[in-house]
Amino acid sequence: MTILDLVPVFSYLFLGGKCRTCHTKISPIYPIIEAATGFLFLFSFLHATSIEQMLCGWLLVSLLIIVLVTDLEYMLIPDKILLFFLPLFVAFRIIYPPHPWWDAPLGFAAGFGLLALIALISRGGMGGGDIKLFAILGLVLGWKLVILGFFLATFFGAVIGLGGQLLGLIKRRQPVPFVPFIALGILTSFFFGDQLITLYFDLIF
């Protein structure tokens, strides 16, 4: 492969969406993911008010983009990916401990416990990969933001799922990958969660 085959987005356009050697059509999901990754890395950089926040954003984006692709392709979140990122998030929280410090282990427990409870009640409505993913996300986000991220993911999934059914794009009881909604909910919570929580309590009280 030449350098022209390895440039994100540009290579897809330059090659006309086909492999240079075998001319097999390349799924458009790849340039979309590449463009989204670049945008989210840039947004994390511009939005961050500290190196800690920027690095946290980059780690979250990297993990969520990878599991999003595997969920779209195989309806699966591989343990190998989670085991790769877990020590990175642990190291991140050791270097940049939250305030208070117990927010990280409490977030881990909240992410795991909430999804495990839902899986138990729904009898398999949540997979083991989703449970482990939320545990890791809770470790870095803390209990408030990971719970908010879950409810946002559920909201986005319900709205898009219902809209897809009304438009005839999604059949009733058709399995739908949940990680895209997790990614949307978690990133919304990470970037805007504190403002959303403040707005919510201002409206309630």
Distance CA 181, CA 130 (A): 11
The answer, yes or no, to whether residue 124 has pLDDT greater than 80, is no
What pLDDT was estimated at residue 8?
A: 72
Residue 25 forms beta bridges with which residues? 18
Whether the predicted pLDDT of 167 surpasses 80: yes
Kindly report, residue by residue over 2-52, the tens digit of the pLDDT. Answer: 666 667 777 777 777 777 677 678 778 888 899 999 999 999 999 999 999
Q: What percent of the chain has pLDDT over 90?
A: 65
**Beta-bridge partner residues of 18:** 25
User: Mean of the per-residue pLDDT values for the chain?
Assistant: 90
- For the ranges 31-40, 121-130, 138-147, which has the lowest average pLDDT? 121-130
Looking at residue 1, its pLDDT comes to 61
Residue located via tokens 């993913």? 133
The arithmetic mean of pLDDT across residues 72-101, rounded, is: 94
Q: Can you read off the two tokens belonging to residue 186?
A: 């978690």
* 25 phi/psi in degrees, rounded to 5: -70, 135
DSSP string, 147-183: HHHHHHHHHHHHHHHHHHHHTTSS-TT----SHHHHH
* pLDDT score at 127: 80
Looking at residue 2, its pLDDT comes to 66
Q: Return the structure tokens found at 122.
A: 């729904």
**pLDDT given at position 203:** 87
Mean pLDDT of 128-147: 95
Task: Give the number of other Cβ atoms within 10 Å of residue 180's Cβ.
Answer: 18
Whole-structure pTM value: 0.89
Q: Tokens for 174, please give them.
A: 């058709």
Whether residue 120 contacts residue 127, with contact meaning beta carbons closer than 8 Å, is answered with no
Query: How far is 160 from 181, CA to CA, in rounded Å?
Result: 9
Burial class of residue 2 (count of CB atoms within 10 Å of its CB; 0-12, 13-18, 19+): exposed
- Give me the helix-helix angle, 143-166 and 179-204, nearest 10°: 110
